Amino acid sequence: MLIRLELRNGSTIPFAELEVMQSCESTRLTSLDAFRGLTVAAMILVNNPGNWAQVYAPLRHAEWHGLTPTDLVFPFFLLIVGVAIPFSLGQRLESGTAPTALIGRVLRRSLILVGLGLAMRAIPDFDLATMRYYGVLQRIGLVYLSAGLAFLFMGSASRVALTVFLLLGYWLLMTQVPVPGHAAGDLSPAGNWAAWVDRLVLDGHLWGSTWDPEGLLSTLPALATALIGISAGEWLRSGRAAGSLLQGLLVSALLLLGAGYLWGLAFPVNKSLWTSTYVLMTAGWGLGLLSFLYWAIDVRGWRGRWQAWMVVFGVNAITAFVASGMLTKALLRIRVGEGVSLYQAIYESGFRSWAGELNGSLAFALAYVLLWWLLMALLSKRGLHFKV
């Protein structure tokens, strides 16, 4: 397993970090880097309030059914994973590399992601008997593995059929097949099929007592999110005129949003269950945002500080996510008083003291994003982009 550090001059040296997202090589879309960077910045923002009891509603996940801006963040990341796949793997296929020769590359990246996710859970206690095994990076790794193999060995039409099968099959299972001990269509936290499978496979290692928002069964519709991204990536690489590309993305976004809204009248939008309607709605919003960034940055050429800060995050996305998460964990572990963590002390004295509880909590999160932007900007200035 080789992890390398790519320098500006194109040379590489071994290094123990990585950026998960695929390099787009000579055809790299700056708008995709910006989209990825904006998404990672949002992840850091919503994951690190000064006080979890003091958070503005848009920066919270929906309690169960429903959709908030925060609920868009994770599926945007999976959508980006899909969009990037045709740029990385597609170029290698077109250069004559056999699909079988790329299996190892896809598997390696997936294992690294899953391994990083497990390490973030385990460090520093390594209490394997009680730790939660699911997580964000674990889901990204599993989705990337499945989506990458689908791209290598399935045609475009077959992947669309697979997407439809996943969405319809998940809907039928969740609404028509009764869970043992529950009625068919029970979408409560304990009574649905996703929760039942999670308890069956990893009971005692879940986020909640009966379910997990990044569980095993709900990874199947999450794969559909990435497959939609692959279709968008293929469209962007199709060689059509910019106007046609934009029109296709926007029409797709509107169709997905419309279908998700109408279907949502019968099958609720739910992030924790990653319902089929959640896939459609979030993919629609994601393609809409990607359309704007592509038009503004890659078509109109509007560059500058408004998008440069996003790109700084985007080229070292996983580095920022993993490092920020581990620092948060360390700040919560370090005690500066009886029952007071360093994280809490910084919030109390540095932000709540002058901004109040709610605004201070937001100010802390914004300052945390700024800190990691400065660190990623330093890496970018030195030409350090971490890749698998």
* pLDDT tops 90 at residue 286: yes
Count the Cβ atoms, other than its own, within 10 Å of residue 368. Answer: 22
> What are the tens digits of pLDDT across the range 346-367?
999 999 999 999 999 999 999 9
Please tell me whether the peptide bond between 124 and the residue prior to it is cis, using omega within 30 degrees of 0.
yes
Please tell me the predicted confidence (pLDDT) of residue 209: 82
Residue 296: strand pairing partners: none
Question: Could you write out the three-class secondary structure of the chain?
Answer: CCCEEECCCCCEEECCCCCCCCCCHHHCCHHHHHHHHHHHHHHHHHHCCCCCCCCCHHHCCCCCECCCHHHHHHHHHHHHHHHHHHHHHHHHHHCCCCHHHHHHHHHHHHHHHHHHHHHHHHCCCCCCCCCCCCCHHHHHHHHHHHHHHHHHHCCHHHHHHHHHHHHHHHHHHHHHCCCCCCCCCCCCCCCCHHHHHHHHHHCCCCCCCCCCCCCCCCHHHHHHHHHHHHHHHHHHCCCCCHHHHHHHHHHHHHHHHHHHHHHHCCCCCECCCCCHHHHHHHHHHHHHHHHHHHHHHHHCCCCCHHHHHHHHHHCCHHHHHHHHHHHHHHHHHCEEECCEEHHHHHHHHHHHHHHCHHHHHHHHHHHHHHHHHHHHHHHHHCCCEEEC
> What are the tens digits of pLDDT across the range 136-154?
999 999 999 999 999 999 9
Q: In this predicted model, which residue has the larger pLDDT, 67 or 204?
A: 67
Let me know: does 176 contact 184? Beta carbons within 8 Å.
yes
* pLDDT tops 60 at residue 83: yes
CA 209/CA 17 separation, integer angstroms:
33
Please tell me the predicted confidence (pLDDT) of residue 339: 86
> What are the tens digits of pLDDT across the range 180-231?
999 999 999 999 999 999 999 998 899 888 889 999 999 999 999 999 999 9
Could you tell me the sign of the dihedral formed by the alpha carbons of 138, 271, 181, 178, in that order? negative
Let me know: does 14 contact 2? Beta carbons within 8 Å.
yes
Please tell me the predicted confidence (pLDDT) of residue 129: 86
CA 247/CA 253 separation, integer angstroms:
10
> What are the tens digits of pLDDT across the range 245-279?
999 999 999 999 999 999 999 999 999 999 999 99
66: amino acid identity, one letter: G
Could you tell me the sign of the dihedral formed by the alpha carbons of 263, 264, 265, 267, in that order? positive
pLDDT grade for 12, boundaries at 50, 70 and 90: very low
pLDDT grade for 388, boundaries at 50, 70 and 90: low
* pLDDT tops 80 at residue 6: no
In 3D, which of 117, 141, 143, 142 has the Cα closest to residue 131?
A: 117
Q: In this predicted model, which residue has the larger pLDDT, 129 or 84?
A: 84
Please tell me the predicted confidence (pLDDT) of residue 56: 97
- Kindly state the tokens that stand for 373: 């932007």
Q: Is the pTM of this model over 0.95?
A: no
Residues 6+ away with beta carbon under 8 Å from 287: 79, 228, 232, 249, 250, 252, 253, 256
In 3D, which of 14, 33, 12 has the Cα closest to residue 24?
A: 33
Tell me which of 117-126, 255-264, 379-388 is least confident.
379-388
Please tell me the predicted confidence (pLDDT) of residue 337: 80
259: Cα within 13 Å, side-chain hemisphere: 17
Residue 387: strand pairing partners: 4
